[in-house]
Amino acid sequence: MSADAKAAIDAVWRIESPRLIAGLARMVRNLDRAEELAQDAFVSALVQWPETGIPRNPGAWLATVAKRRAIDAIRRQKRLEVKQTAMHRELESTQEFDDPFAATDDIDDDLLRLIFVACHPVLATESRVALTLRLLGGLTTTEIARAFLVSEATIAQRIVRAKRTLSEARVPFETPDASKRAPRLSSVLEVLYLIFNEGYSATAGDDVMRPGLCEDALRLGRVLAELVADETEVHGLVALMEIQASRSKARVDALGAPILLMEQDRTRWDRVLVARGLTALRRAEKLGGTFGPYALQAAIAACHARARTGAETDWARIAALYDALAALAPSPVVRLNRAVAIGMAFGPAAGLELADALVSEPSLRAYHLLPSVRADLLKKLNRFSEARSEFERAASLARNTRDRDLLLERAAACRF
Amino acid sequence: MRFMVIVKANADTESGRLPTAEELGAMHEFNEGLVKDGVLLAADGLHASSKGARMRFGGGGKPVVTDGPFAETKELIAGFWLVQAKSKEETIERFSRCPFESGEIEIRQVFEADDFGDALSPQAREFEARRRG
């Protein structure tokens, strides 16, 4: 087969496999078996399509082949267990699969079930991530391994283990009921944001595959936002990811070192993604209700995105949003960011008071940004010698030479 | 990566004819599929070139402006999609389902930061130098 034909069939897999696997999983009630059936159908496609060309509706073609096999298998099993009425019902319900064009709503429901199952809390986080990218992102094991800088065997093992765990725990192929919906949904959001950050924290020079993870996470977030359009936090997460991704061209310099938000060249922010992020945030706002941590972070990111220059930033609003975020998720890093925002909004003395309160915080003891923030505020208060020693302390804690050099330069500038 | 899918103009689009309800419905369904798959970033149709203008640069002075319409229909564009995809093949596969009866679309990859490679460096270095001040 030519490389073109292979690439075209790979593309069909990426587009069609999530819905195909989701539909099959509903039918056979087993994720592993569903994936196997989907892959078998693709093997048939690999044999036939180079001869016949890719059909006009490849999804329907694959669904027909896979479902026919699934029905054959169920019938064989049924002959063995004739008395099982449950199987009867299953067989009846599979009749509708003879028509490959199942109603769109059904496919959407199947896809949502697949997302919830792949992100089930019974699974280790790394397994959820691998399973989600494989089943919903349509990525191959090789691609996932490359993206996470681990061996293919490791990813393959995580996926095998995840499927075994799901089947041992008898996790039903269902969307969670109302009582479990909130924690299950936050597990899904956590997985998506983890994938996004895995891609986002990698610098451009590291590996060209990694920006792909941001796109995968964003795409899955957008898919989820269409499936569960009534959840504020889903739109919040999408907004947060769109706005963060909009800065990707501006956030590292030519040598791959990070550029802080306030120092970024805003003309390099991606306007399409900013607009999409602001639209997603509006969808969250329209739903009403209180914002969760993702929507709050998105609202903060939106304040920066709306400001044409750093000087136009609405710090009072950011400070208020950090107040709300700190009340919801009171982590020391959130409190430090809040101190920065309050320092910008209400003057360095107010910010310093909050930053000082974090000095005894054990988890920030080795965090260079705490002394760096304090140094900034001290400098603005004209307390230069204190600022200088804080910049020096920050430099001693910095994890890379570029940050260290920058902090030492700033220490040296505190001479007046 | 991203691709811009460009719809070429034809006599129909240049005439200012609006699409029929049926055509609109089919296109809406196609676009909805792109939205549900999380790949559609932006899309718009363009008015006929009679409502546009061309600006020609060169000669050192102000650019020369010519109002539409323009004759060479196949050089004109009538609309575009901006989509996210893993490959050109994925974009081709998605748009082979596009409900056009006739006409031509063109698929072009959008530059990403990485694509600039060294070409970006002088500008980025200059920015870096400015920011360090």
Sign of CA dihedral A243, A245, A250, A253: positive
Residue A164 lies in a domain: yes
User: Which domains, and CATH codes, for chain B?
Assistant: 2-132 (3.30.70.1060)
Query: How far apart, in Å, are the Cα atoms of A287 and each of A218, A235, A291?
Result: 21, 10, 10
Question: What residues in B contact A255, CB-CB < 8 Å?
Answer: 128
**A95 shares a domain with A2:** yes
Residue A98 has a pLDDT of: 43
Residue A190 contacts residue A206 (beta carbons within 8 Å)? no
Question: What residues in A contact B98, CB-CB < 8 Å?
Answer: none
Which chain A residue has its CA at the smallest distance from B82's CA?
A272
In total, chain A counts a number of residues equal to 416
Residue A90 has a pLDDT of: 53
**A88 shares a domain with A4:** yes
Residue B118 has a pLDDT of: 47
Q: Can you give the C-alpha Rg of chain B in angstroms?
A: 19
* pLDDT category of residue B120 using cuts at 50, 70 and 90: very low
Residue A82 lies in a domain: yes
Which chain B residue has its CA at the smallest distance from A4's CA?
B89
Q: CB–CB of A108 and B41 under 8 A?
A: no
Question: What residues in A contact B94, CB-CB < 8 Å?
Answer: 15
Q: What is the pLDDT of residues B96-118, one digit of tens each?
A: 999 998 899 999 999 886 665 54
Residue A333 lies in a domain: no
Residue B116 has a pLDDT of: 55
Interval A119-125 mean pLDDT: 95
**A24 shares a domain with A9:** yes
Residue A149 has a pLDDT of: 82
**A94 shares a domain with A7:** yes
Residue A133 lies in a domain: yes
Q: CB–CB of A265 and B127 under 8 A?
A: yes
Q: CB-based contact (8 Å) between B110 and chain A? A: no
Residue B126 has a pLDDT of: 55
**A107 shares a domain with A56:** no
**A121 shares a domain with A85:** no
Q: CB-based contact (8 Å) between B82 and chain A? A: yes
The residue among A23, A42, A41, A24 whose CA lies nearest residue A33 is: A24
**Mean pLDDT: which of A40-49, A248-257, A258-267, A275-284 is highest?**
A275-284
Strand partners, A10: none
Q: CB–CB of A218 and B84 under 8 A?
A: yes
Which chain A residue has its CA at the smallest distance from B129's CA?
A253
* pLDDT category of residue A208 using cuts at 50, 70 and 90: very low
- A46 CA to chain B: closest CA distance, Å? 15
The residue among A167, A166, A213, A207 whose CA lies nearest residue A194 is: A213
Among residues of chain B, what percentage have pLDDT more than 90? Answer: 64
pTM beyond 0.95: no
Residue A37 lies in a domain: yes
Residue B1 contacts residue B82 (beta carbons within 8 Å)? no
- Domain boundary (A203, A233, A250) is at A203
- Give yes or no for residue A86 having a pLDDT over 60: no
Residue of higher predicted confidence among B122 and A85: A85
Interface confidence, given as ipTM, is 0.85
Residue A180 lies in a domain: yes
Residue A73 lies in a domain: yes
Q: What is the pLDDT of residues A356-388, one digit of tens each?
A: 999 999 999 989 999 999 999 999 999 999 999
Residue A209 has a pLDDT of: 42
* pLDDT category of residue A55 using cuts at 50, 70 and 90: confident
Q: Which amino acid is at B92?
A: I
**Mean pLDDT: which of A3-12, A202-211, A264-273, B7-16 is highest?**
A264-273
Q: CB-based contact (8 Å) between A115 and chain B? A: no
Q: Can you give the C-alpha Rg of chain A in angstroms?
A: 26
Q: Could you give phi then psi for residue B109, rounded to 5 degrees?
A: -80, 140
The residue among A287, A351, A289, A286 whose CA lies nearest residue A318 is: A351
* DSSP strand pairing (B53-56 vs B2-8): unpaired
Among residues of chain B, what percentage have pLDDT more than 70? Answer: 84
- Give yes or no for residue A194 having a pLDDT over 70: yes
Residue A124 DSSP code: -
Q: Which amino acid is at B102?
A: S
Q: CB-based contact (8 Å) between B97 and chain A? A: yes
- Give yes or no for residue A205 having a pLDDT over 70: no
Among the residues of A96-201, which ranges form H helices? 104-118, 125-135, 141-148, 152-168, 178-200
**A126 shares a domain with A67:** no
Residue B49 DSSP code: G
Domain that holds residue A5: 1-100
Residue A142 lies in a domain: yes
Residue B127 has a pLDDT of: 52
Name the residue facing B38 among A219, A255, A265 (closest C-beta).
Answer: A219
Name the residue facing B128 among A220, A254, A273 (closest C-beta).
Answer: A254
Q: CB-based contact (8 Å) between B87 and chain A? A: yes
Q: CB-based contact (8 Å) between B23 and chain A? A: no
Best of A61, A249, A269, A410 to disrupt the B interface (most B CBs within 10 Å) is: A249
Residue B71 has a pLDDT of: 87
- Give yes or no for residue A210 having a pLDDT over 80: no
**A109 shares a domain with A96:** no
Question: What residues in A contact B38, CB-CB < 8 Å?
Answer: 218-223, 226
Residue A54 has a pLDDT of: 84
- Domain boundary (A78, A100, A122) is at A100
Q: CB–CB of B93 and A15 under 8 A?
A: yes
**A10 shares a domain with A89:** yes
Question: What residues in B contact A58, CB-CB < 8 Å?
Answer: 93
Residue A210 contacts residue A147 (beta carbons within 8 Å)? yes
Q: What is the mean pLDDT of chain A?
A: 88
* Residue contacts between A and B (CB atoms, under 8 Å): 76
* pLDDT category of residue A77 using cuts at 50, 70 and 90: confident
Q: CB-based contact (8 Å) between B89 and chain A? A: yes
Interval A226-249 mean pLDDT: 95
Q: What is the pLDDT of residues B65-84, one digit of tens each?
A: 999 899 888 789 999 999 99
Strand partners, A72: none
What is the Cα–Cα distance from B47 to A270, expressed in whole angstroms?
A: 25
Name the residue facing B113 among A58, A248, A259 (closest C-beta).
Answer: A248
- B110 CA to chain A: closest CA distance, Å? 12
Q: What is the pLDDT of residues A279-328, one digit of tens each?
A: 999 999 999 888 999 999 999 999 999 999 999 999 999 999 999 999 99
- List A residues 273-302 in contact with B (Cβ-Cβ < 8 A): 273, 276
* pLDDT category of residue A206 using cuts at 50, 70 and 90: very low
Residue A251 has a pLDDT of: 84
Residue A313 has a pLDDT of: 96
Residue A304 has a pLDDT of: 97
Name the residue facing B90 among A14, A253, A263 (closest C-beta).
Answer: A14
Residue B46 has a pLDDT of: 93
**A154 shares a domain with A177:** yes
- Give yes or no for residue A1 having a pLDDT over 90: no
Name the residue facing B87 among A7, A57, A208 (closest C-beta).
Answer: A7
What is the Cα–Cα distance from A222 to A225, expressed in whole angstroms?
A: 5
- B14 CA to chain A: closest CA distance, Å? 27
- Give yes or no for residue A147 having a pLDDT over 50: yes
- List B residues 35-74 in contact with A (Cβ-Cβ < 8 A): 35-39, 41-42
CATH of the domain at A131: 1.10.10
Question: What residues in A contact B120, CB-CB < 8 Å?
Answer: 254
* pLDDT category of residue B132 using cuts at 50, 70 and 90: very low
Name the residue facing A12 among B93, B113, B121 (closest C-beta).
Answer: B93
Number of structural domains in chain A: 2
* pLDDT category of residue A400 using cuts at 50, 70 and 90: confident
SS (H, E, C) A208-234: CCCHHHHHHHHHHHHHHHHHCCCCHHH
Cis before A258? omega within 30: no
The residue among A376, A242, A230, A252 whose CA lies nearest residue A301 is: A242
Residue B90 has a pLDDT of: 94
- Domain boundary (A70, A100, A130) is at A100
The residue among A174, A137, A180 whose CA lies nearest residue A159 is: A137
What is the Cα–Cα distance from A252 to A274, expressed in whole angstroms?
A: 18
**A89 shares a domain with A12:** yes
3-state SS class at B2: strand
**A144 shares a domain with A79:** no
